[in-house]
Amino acid sequence: MRKSRSEAAETRRRIVRTAAGTFRRDGLETPGLDDLMGAAGLTRGGFYRHFASKDQLAAEALAEAFDGVIASMSAAIAERGDRSPIAAAADRYLNATHRDGPEEGCPLAALGSELARAGDSVRAVATDGLRRMLETVSGDADPAQTAAARDTALVSLSAMIGALTMARMVDDPTLSDALLERVSAYLNGAI
Amino acid sequence: MRKSRSEAAETRRRIVRTAAGTFRRDGLETPGLDDLMGAAGLTRGGFYRHFASKDQLAAEALAEAFDGVIASMSAAIAERGDRSPIAAAADRYLNATHRDGPEEGCPLAALGSELARAGDSVRAVATDGLRRMLETVSGDADPAQTAAARDTALVSLSAMIGALTMARMVDDPTLSDALLERVSAYLNGAI
DNA sequence: TGTACATCAGTGAACGCGCGTTCACTGATGTAC
DNA sequence: TGTACATCAGTGAACGCGCGTTCACTGATGTAC
């Protein structure tokens, strides 16, 4: 049954990658080890060959989720043309595709209120992820960020996270669409 | 052991009221019936004399939480002096007291990402609560709301909810304070 | 108004279930010589 | 290079625990007469 080192390393990466999606779709507490290992095509017993605890997997999966969404926003900003970085980030963030695919999206919107109650290691990853996202939307090409750019990033990202979370929460599609469209329009025009 | 009708009705109200705080502090899933009944000074067994399910209590407690926070914001707006309703709402919402007392605060910030995955009855209450908050911050004295006022409310409330959620999540007090202060300053000045 | 009986608020134990974690085991991989 | 042995990735069962829900029971309250 033993797998080679490279196979085991690949297995570990697969567990983290699939868990990053499962956590964002179903929350941090709801999925059990059976769900998380099953998503990677494995059974529960092998979990502790790779991780010390479910919390450790959550922290690593969260970091991976941030990597993906930050790369996506960074790319959107790089291709922004003559728009502001914030406008490009808002377009990438506030749309139906992102709303309807939380497993590939921003973990701050997917897990925000649960992260506030999570353990120290998870919150540390979340804090670092928020910082990286703030740097990204404020235009990370500029190393000497101005205070105004930083404030604009704080306000804009807060609005994006709040709007996407509410757009997923409401049971009225019209209100959900309005949240995405109106906040996106505001960030495209007024800032 | 039987209690009088008025005592039973008072007990029911107490369970809903204390549960509204417990859910906001600890989340929708984490507290068990032991915790929820214990907070009201009761034991688990009596729960089903008052509620058909834990989900029903969650829906009623959430509605009560909205009532409280909307009354508070309404009062802040009524006493706003020459400031805009949004500025008054932001001051009431984005401060350390609210951040550090989720059990008495806005359920959208305390439970946002969990509400997006909740059952139909809970999501219906959440949707109604968001609508009521939007009406409140857009100045509910005006019955014929303009589209612009509605859009401003969408953007402002999204920013408030996102900023408060992030302020509770990050493990760095400086960043947490900055989120509250900078978004509040923006909503006081620019809108 | 008083009495007999029915009701039911609340208790505490029990139900089945799924959780995170542990462990004995299997057998292919890695290592020592 | 070949062989003998140690290692360990992954399995599946078991552990104790707490969950939401059910239920028999108690005894004060409510109701019928």
Q: What is the DSSP string of A139-162?
A: TTT-SS--HHHHHHHHHHHHHHHH
The CA R_g of chain A, rounded to the nearest whole Å, is 18
Confirm if B58 and B124 have CB atoms less than 8 A apart. no
Average pLDDT estimate for A78-92: 94
| Nearest residue, CB atoms, B170 vs list A29, A127, A183 | A127
Residue B1 is predicted with a pLDDT of 66
A35 contact B CB<8A: no
Q: How far is B106 from chain A (nearest CA, A)?
A: 12
The dihedral through the CA atoms of B174, A126, A191, B184 has a sign that is: negative
What's at B46, amino acid-wise?
G
From B29, B154, B179, residue closest to A158, measured CB to CB: B179
Q: Which residues of chain A have a CB within 8 Å of the CB of B170?
A: 123, 126-127, 130
In the prediction, which pLDDT does B140 show?
60
pLDDT tens profile A114-153: 999 999 999 999 999 999 999 999 876 566 668 888 999 9
Distances in Å between the alpha carbon of A86 and those of A70, A80, A123, B147, B158?
A: 13, 9, 25, 24, 16
Q: Name residue, tokens 């309703």.
A: B85
Residue A109 is inside which H or E element, if any? helix A107-115
Q: Within an 8 Å CB–CB cutoff, is residue B166 touching chain A?
A: yes
Q: Please give the pLDDT value at position B112.
A: 96
No. of helices (H) and no. of strands (E), chain B: 9, 0
Nearest residue to B62 via CA among B29, B108, B95? B108
Provide the CA B141 to C1' C6 distance, Å, integer. 53
pLDDT score at A172 = 98
Look at B158 and A157 and tell me if their CB atoms are within 8 Å: no
DSSP, res B83: S
Provide the pLDDT confidence category of residue A179 given band limits of 50, 70 and 90.
very high
Q: Are A162 and A108 in contact (CB under 8 A)?
A: no
From the CA of A12 to the C1' of D4: give the distance in Å: 31
CB contact under 8 A, B151 and A109: no
| pTM of the full structure | 0.95
Closest nt to residue A33, judged CA to C1': C20
CB atoms within 10 A of CB A141: 9
Taking alpha carbons only, the member of A122, A140, A135 closest to residue A63 is: A122
pLDDT at B145: 67
Q: How does pLDDT run across A16-64, given as a tens digit for each residue?
A: 999 999 999 999 999 999 999 999 999 999 999 999 999 999 999 999 9
- Given a contact cutoff of 8 angstroms between Cβ atoms, the answer to whether B42 and B15 are in contact is yes
Inform me whether the C-beta atom of residue B155 falls under 8 Å from chain A C-beta atoms: yes
Query: By the CB < 8 Å criterion, does A154 face chain B?
Result: yes
Residue A170 has pLDDT above 90, yes or no: yes
Contact indicator for A162, B161 with CB cutoff of 8 Å: yes
Secondary structure string (H, E, C) spanning A53-72: CHHHHHHHHHHHHHHHHHHH
Of A116, A154, A168, Cβ closest to residue B165: A116
pLDDT along chain B (191 residues), means of 10: 84 98 98 97 95 97 98 95 94 98 98 97 98 90 74 97 98 98 92 57
For residue B131, which residues of chain A lie inside 8 Å, CB to CB? 175
- What backbone torsions phi and psi does residue B130 show, to the nearest 5 degrees? -65, -45
The pLDDT score that the predictor gives to residue B143 is 60
Per-residue pLDDT at A106 exceeds 60: yes
Q: Check residue A178 and give its pLDDT.
A: 97
Half-sphere exposure of A75 (CA within 13 A, CB side): 8
Element (H, E) at B110: helix B107-115
For tokens 């959620």, name the residue: B165
Tokens found for residue A116: 């506030």
pLDDT digits (tens, 9 = 90+) for A3-17: 878 888 999 999 999
Q: Give me the CA B66–C1' C2 separation in Å, rounded.
A: 49
Please say whether the beta carbons of A73 and A133 come within 8 A: yes
User: How far is the C-alpha of B68 from the C-alpha of B73, rounded, in Å?
Assistant: 9
Which band of pLDDT confidence, cut at 50, 70 and 90, is reported for residue A190?
low
pLDDT, residue A20, reads 98
Instruction: Give the per-residue pLDDT at B189.
Output: 87
